[in-house]
Structure 1
Amino acid sequence: MNTMQSEGANAQYNKNTLNAQFKKAPSNDLANKSLKYTTVFWFVTTLVGQWFFFYYIMSFYGFSVINDNMQIWNRWEPMGSTPFHAGDFSGNLAFAAHAIGAGIVAFGGALQLIPKVRNMYPRFHKINGYVFLTTVLCLALSGFYLVWIRDSKPLTLSGVGTTINGFLILAFAYFTVRCAINKKIANHREWALRLFLVSNAQWILRVGVFSYMVSGSILGLNPAFGDMFFPLWTFGCFVMPLAMLQLYFYAKRKTSSQLKFVASGLLCVLTLFMIVGMVGFTPFLLLVMSGDPISF
């Protein structure tokens, strides 16, 4: 009798467990799809923004170098920046390398993240990876030069942020290469994503600034360049993306549907803010390229 009761209890337990699993399966499937498609949404948005940024850099900085018209860089003077220094050949060269390198990173880096490109064109992926790594190393080193040697006042908050970002680029590049050499492909891709984000921190910085200004204006908050947001965003432009990426990795590994929904929701919100920033940033870049006066 006891045996029959025990078997009945076990059968009921198994039935309840199966029912719970069947109920949980659709939720997990939806959570996985939510995270997947939100990631695609982020990537497509980033790709569009990055490639337009590449177009701007090559149109403005690239052609100015070719045409020996680097004085045009000082169109940024209304924003407190005069990159071109007359008679400073090495400094101007470093800035040109830094700016054009950022364009190369913006264009080539995104291609490294596309699975079909990796799988169908492994040789291109490898060569493009070498180009990307070489460029980001030059980006970091030229950034150090511009901040600590060329700049007469290197100990600014912006300079500290650029320096930290540069060291992160070097560190992440090292781990990306080491994992590739050791055939740890999953780890290699994670470090490559981190490297992609910190290498594009200057683009993220600018998009974030315009997102803050546009969204703040829409909400009637009267944003201004003296707001606390700006010193915080000097570091936030690489800390926040890295934190979001780490949450994405964590959510992807775990089975928790709630965690996946939280990660996908947060990524979606950040992507929408990124779109707002791109909408504000794009007309400004077109203004810079047009040659018309820049005013605020």
Structure 2
Amino acid sequence: MDNTHNADFGSAIEREIPDTNKIAVQNRTSDKLANQSLANKSLKYSAVFWFVTTLTGQWLFFYYILGFYGVTVINDNMEHWNAVLGQFGVTPYRAGDFSGNLAFAAHAIGAGIVAFGGALQLIPKVRSSFPKFHKINGYVYLTTVFCLAVSGFYLVWIRDPDPLGIPEIGTTINGFLILGFAYLTVRLAIKKDIANHRKWALRLFFVSNAQWILRVGTFSYLVTGNMLGMNPAFGDPFFYMWTFGCYVLPLLTLQLYFYAKERGSNSVKNATSGLLFVITILMIMGMVGYTPFLLNVISGGPIGL
């Protein structure tokens, strides 16, 4: 009787004593879930930080395109391009070259349309709440990027008689990427493969905005270089590399983001978040240097780098 009572008492005590191994497993699982949640949030908010920065920069660029190129075209004052851009050895307006001037104007204004409309395509709320607008804006965007690529080919291959240099080669590759990515974006939308459609649409967004990225990266290099006492100047090796880097680097970063979001470990997600944060800060520094330059171009004020 006593033995039975003791056995029952012992069993009761065992039930009351926590299983330390089980608790340890639960704690590890809880910590793992917490770390995973933190990594996911870090990746999400770093992407949001990048997007808001990009949206701001893109719309400022759109304002510049309309304020400078749009106004001069409307007022039939395209020779003003040379008065401003000639300071940098660029003379896009050529007297008597109607087709060339038209191609350049279309290319410049098209870049503004892409900057404004492309960012709207990436906003989830716009896609879900205004599907018809998303579809129509998508058609306008795709038509514009096609014209952007073709006009770029014309300006590089036909209008300019000089042999192709590194910038022209970079522009040519960029144009082919635009056409290829646009085709895949449309094809996947027709097939209702929305997940991959959005991936290729993002890739298209980057290559079609490469000229904006080129300019922001250029000013970021100049600003950060001066801050670090490096005395950066046009003609530095950076500019030759950035001719291709302005679309290669964003595409590689985007691919890393896809991997981190879908299959990456917490450490990969955190590393990707950190990279996005650093890139965004560099973008902001470039925009801080670029925006006053654009405003002076529009207003006719003194231009300096």
**TM-score tier after normalising by the smaller chain length:** over 0.9
Residue of structure 2 aligned with 1:135, choices 125, 141, 144: 144
Contact 1:28 1:255 in 2 (8 A): no
Alpha-carbon distance change, 200 to 154 in structure 1, aligned in 2, over 3 angstroms: farther
| Residue 255 (structure 2) pairs with residue 210 (structure 1) | no
**Equivalence map 1:18-33=2 (5 Å):** 18-33=26-41
Q: Contact 1:71–1:84 at 8 Å: present in 2 too?
A: yes
> Any conservation in 1 of the 2:126–2:134 contact (CA below 8 Å)?
yes
**One of 62, 67, 73 as aligned partner of 1:54:** 62
Distance in 2 separating the partners of 1:172 and 1:13: 53
1:168 and 1:33, CA in 2 relative to 1: closer, same or farther beyond 3 A?
A: same
Q: Which residue of 1 aligns with 2:286?
A: 277
The residue aligned with 1:165 is 174
Q: Secondary structure at the match of 1:70?
A: coil
- Aligned with 1:98 (options 85, 90, 107): 107
Supply the distance in 2 between the matched residues of 1:255 and 1:23 (Cα, whole angstroms).
Answer: 18
1:183 partner amino acid: K
Q: Which amino acid aligns with 1:38?
A: S
Kindly report structure 1 stretches of 4+ aligned residues shifted beyond 6 Å: 11-14
Match of 1:234 in 2: 243
Measure the CA separation in 2 of the matches of 1:295 and 1:29.
47
Return the alpha-carbon distance in structure 2 between the equivalents of residues 292 and 143 of structure 1. Answer: 29
1:8-47 equivalent positions in 2, closer than 5 A: 16-47=24-55
CA gap 1:121/1:154 in 2 versus in 1, 3 angstroms = farther
Note if contact 1:147-1:154 (Cα within 8 Å) is conserved in structure 2: no
Between the aligned partners of 1:186 and 1:72, the Cα distance in structure 2 is 45
Say if 2:195 is the partner of 1:181. Answer: no
Per the TM alignment, residue 152 of structure 1 is displaced from its structure 2 partner at its CA by 1.5
Query: Following the alignment from structure 2 to structure 1, what is the Cα–Cα distance between the partners of residues 215 and 267?
Result: 32
For the pair shown, the structure with the greater C-alpha radius of gyration is: 2
Percent of aligned pairs sharing the same letter: 69
Q: Secondary structure at the match of 2:301?
A: coil
Would you say 1:220 and 2:229 are equivalent positions?
yes
Distance 1:136 1:243 in 2: 21
Give the Cα separation in 1 of the matches to 2:143 and 2:235: 36
The amino acid of 1:41's aligned partner reads F
Quick one: distance in 1 between partners of 2:32 and 2:264? 10
| 1:73 matched to 2:68 | no
Query: Paired residue for 2:93, among 84, 88, 91?
Result: 84
Query: What is the CA deviation profile of residues 212-254 of structure 1, one whole-angstrom value per residue up to 9, with x for unaligned ones?
Result: 0000001101101121100000000000000100000000002
Q: 1:71 to 1:293 in 2, by over 3 A?
A: farther
* AA partner of residue 50 (structure 1): Q
Look up the SS of the partner of 2:79 in the other structure: helix
User: What RMSD over aligned residues (CA atoms) do the two structures have, in Å?
Assistant: 1.3
SS class of match (1:128): helix
| Alignment length (residue pairs) | 286
**Aligned equivalents of 1:107, 1:203: Cα separation in 2:** 12
CA drift at 1:16: 4.9
Shift of 1:17: 4.2
1:148 is matched by which residue type in structure 2? W
> 1:193 corresponds to which letter in structure 2?
L
Asked if the contact 1:140/1:170 (under 8 Å) is kept, the reply is yes
- Which 5+ residue runs of structure 1 have no aligned equivalent? 1-10
CA distance in 2, matches of 1:278, 1:162: 22
The one-letter code matched in structure 2 to 1:196 is F
Q: Cα deviation per residue 1:1-59 (whole Å; 9 max; x = unaligned)? A: xxxxxxxxxx9876654432211000000000001001110000000000010000011
Structure 2: tracts of 5 or more residues without a match: 1-18
Determine helix, strand or coil for the equivalent of 1:153: coil
CA contact (8 A) 1:101 1:138 kept: yes
Whole-angstrom distance in 2 between the partners of 1:227 and 1:255: 36
Contact 2:293–2:304 (8 Å) recurs in 1:
no
SS at match of 2:148: helix
Aligned residue identity for 1:149: I
